[in-house]
Amino acid sequence: MKVTVIGSGYVGLVTGACLAQTGNHVVCLDVDAAKVAQLQAGHVPIHEPGLEAMVRANAAAGRLRFTLDAADAIGHGRILFIGVGTPPGEDGSADLQHVLAAARTIAQYLIGPAVVVNKSTVPVGTADRVKAVIEAGLAERQIDYPVAVVSNPEFLKEGAAVDDFLRPDRIVLGSEDESALQLMRTLYAPFNRNRERIQVMDARSAELTKYAANAMLATRISFMNELAALAEQVGADIEQVRRGMGSDERIGTHFLYAGAGYGGSCFPKDVRALLHTGREHGLQLGVLEAVQAANARQKRVLVQKLERRLGPLAGRTIALWGLAFKPNTDDLREAPSLVVIEELLERGASVVAYDPVAATAARAQLHDKAGITIVDDAYAALDGADALVIITEWREFRTPDFEQIRSRLRQPLIIDGRNLYEADEMAAQGLVYEGVGRPSTRS
Ligand code: UDX
């Protein structure tokens, strides 16, 4: 099939590459000349396992190309995906300017009937707005090709996006247009083997499903983070509690990890946007408000732990391991590390940080801040530091050289925001260790 993908960011790029991989002819349109040039040269500007190889292979096979030329791209596809960003506006609402601009571009250059598929995360009712914008644009051109708009939210996790696209839990299609749905079923057939994954619903329900799923996952995390604080007070271990809870099938084992708070491009933004939609409709979503507040508190927990152990932090040097909001990405958006850094610098501490992948992104983002150094070796970060704080659970942090940690730190203190180690093992290594919601070493 001939497919056009508007927006070569995270979502658009993964969608375009994976659809080309299954034999479709895909043209990706973007307005960013530098990005398009990079992609044409086979370079993927984001860190996502498997994506660059897939882009190169499909480009070489002639099934995937990138362009700045809207007439060329819109003229190509029978199915046109919108996968542009929906950044948060000041009031927390999702900013739809890029989505609506994409709709206008479609209307301007369309040369026949089309199915427009919205993959961007958008507020309920956007499919109708997109359809109205396209129809108005076509009317100006005095043509009336039939255009259906399908809401098809993405559920991609950074670091596993290619795999999530190729092996989805579900494929949500929001539309009441039978022929559009038929086309979408054919397009998604390769990803729908063994068991029916396609769920057809109305567009508004599809749009809300995306927000609801992310809000539910954020809720689980904030709930566990609150319970972790309670576990510390009552002398329980949140990791044991998590295992006990998770083995109830109704609860399940996923997304129950207490930690440094959730970050990333989706949860914080989507929670804010859903709260905003609630307010627009006169509804206070109280559970979700509490989820958001608990997460803001959680991002400060590690610094409070440091203060309890070390006293005032002015003049101290703190080593950080992990800056990305989670492993396998270089993404720093809403990362707990940024709050930890801010709080430490505010208190007059210096920070020496290490991240195996996000160092370059972090240097670019934090270059104007005095008091932070980013180093390229995990152990070099420890030299002369008063404590090590672990913020991201990169695999290489799971079994570090504890002897080096102990000897290179000025004080043998680890504050672990990801509960990677066991307190009694740390005590045996001569380290003072405190996780989140767990018993600490005694000293
Ligand atoms: C998320 C959703 O999982 C995905 O379906 C959606 O399409 C986009 O948003 P992503 O933002 O890539 O994906 O990250 P995810 O792996 O879900 O983690 C989000 C945050 O929650 C991270 O900061 C992570 O550290 C934190 N987290 C996750 C916890 O603190 N505890 C957990 O148990 C799980």
Write the ipTM.
Answer: 0.93
Average pLDDT, the chain: 97
Residue with tokens 């961007």: 120
Residues with CB under 6 A from ligand 1: 154-158, 214, 217, 221, 255-257, 259, 262-267, 325-326
Least confident of 60-64, 139-143, 439-443: 439-443
Calculate mean pLDDT across residues 388-400.
98
Residues 210-297, CATH architecture: Orthogonal Bundle (1.10)
| pLDDT on residue 421 | 98
Calculate mean pLDDT across residues 416-439.
97
User: Which of 270, 279, 116, 268 lies closest to 208, judged by CA?
Assistant: 270
Residue nearest (by alpha carbon) to ligand 1 atom 34:
255
Most ligand 1 atoms within 8 A of CB, residue of 15, 158, 262 to mutate = 262
* C-alpha–C-alpha distance, residues 437 and 92, integer Å: 31
- 2-201, what's its fold? Rossmann fold (3.40.50)
Calculate mean pLDDT across residues 12-40.
98
| pLDDT on residue 428 | 96
Higher pLDDT, 434 or 89: 434
Q: Looking at ligand 1, which atom is closest to the CA of residue 220? A: 33
- Is there a binding annotation on residue 131? no
Angle at 261 between CA 257 and CA 262, to 5 degrees: 85
Model confidence over 162-199: pLDDT tens digits?
A: 999 999 999 999 999 999 999 999 999 999 988 899 99
Q: Is the pLDDT of residue 362 over 70?
A: yes
| pLDDT on residue 92 | 87
Q: Which residues does the annotation mark as catalytic?
A: 266
CA of 296 to the centre of ligand 1 (A): 15
Calculate mean pLDDT across residues 242-252.
98
Query: In whole angstroms, what separates CA 233 from the centre of its chain?
Result: 32
- Structure letter (DSSP) for residue 94: B
Residue nearest (by alpha carbon) to ligand 1 atom 2:
157
Model confidence over 67-82: pLDDT tens digits?
A: 999 999 999 999 999 9
| pLDDT on residue 88 | 87
Angle at 173 between CA 275 and CA 100, to 5 degrees: 60
Number of neighbours of residue 243 by Cβ within 10 angstroms? 12
Q: Is the pLDDT of residue 443 over 70?
A: no
Please measure the distance between the N-terminal and C-terminal CA atoms of the chain and give it in whole angstroms.
65
- Structure letter (DSSP) for residue 141: T
Number of neighbours of residue 58 by Cβ within 10 angstroms? 23
| pLDDT on residue 345 | 98
Locate CATH 1.10.1040.10 in the chain. Answer: 210-297
Residue 67: in which H helix or E strand, if any? Answer: strand 64-67
Q: Looking at ligand 1, which atom is closest to the CA of residue 335? A: 23
| pLDDT on residue 126 | 97
Locate CATH 3.40.50.720 in the chain. Answer: 2-201, 299-434
Residue nearest (by alpha carbon) to ligand 1 atom 15:
157
- Is there a binding annotation on residue 35? yes
Calculate mean pLDDT across residues 46-68.
96
* C-alpha–C-alpha distance, residues 420 and 311, integer Å: 25
Number of neighbours of residue 154 by Cβ within 10 angstroms? 21
Angle at 267 between CA 174 and CA 90, to 5 degrees: 95
* C-alpha–C-alpha distance, residues 360 and 134, integer Å: 40
Residue 390: in which H helix or E strand, if any? Answer: strand 387-390
CA of 67 to the centre of ligand 1 (A): 32
CATH number, domain 299-434, options 3.40.50.300, 3.90.700.10, 3.40.470.10, 3.40.50.720: 3.40.50.720
Most ligand 1 atoms within 8 A of CB, residue of 51, 257, 326 to mutate = 326
CA of 115 to the centre of ligand 1 (A): 31
Q: What Rg, from alpha-carbon coordinates, does the chain have? A: 24
- Is there a binding annotation on residue 121? yes
pTM exceeding the 0.90 threshold for the entire prediction = yes
Q: Looking at ligand 1, which atom is closest to the CA of residue 158? A: 12
Strands (E), 79-213: 79-82, 114-118, 147-151, 171-174, 198-201
Strands (E), 177-290: 198-201
Q: Is the pLDDT of residue 45 over 80?
A: yes
Q: Is the pLDDT of residue 393 over 90?
A: yes
CA of 264 to the centre of ligand 1 (A): 7
Residue nearest (by alpha carbon) to ligand 1 atom 6:
155
CA of 375 to the centre of ligand 1 (A): 26
Q: Looking at ligand 1, which atom is closest to the CA of residue 157? A: 12
Q: Is the pLDDT of residue 277 over 70?
A: yes
Residue nearest (by alpha carbon) to ligand 1 atom 10:
157
* C-alpha–C-alpha distance, residues 103 and 130, integer Å: 6
CA of 104 to the centre of ligand 1 (A): 33
Residue nearest (by alpha carbon) to ligand 1 atom 17:
157
Q: Is the pLDDT of residue 123 over 80?
A: yes
* C-alpha–C-alpha distance, residues 423 and 428, integer Å: 9
| pLDDT on residue 193 | 83
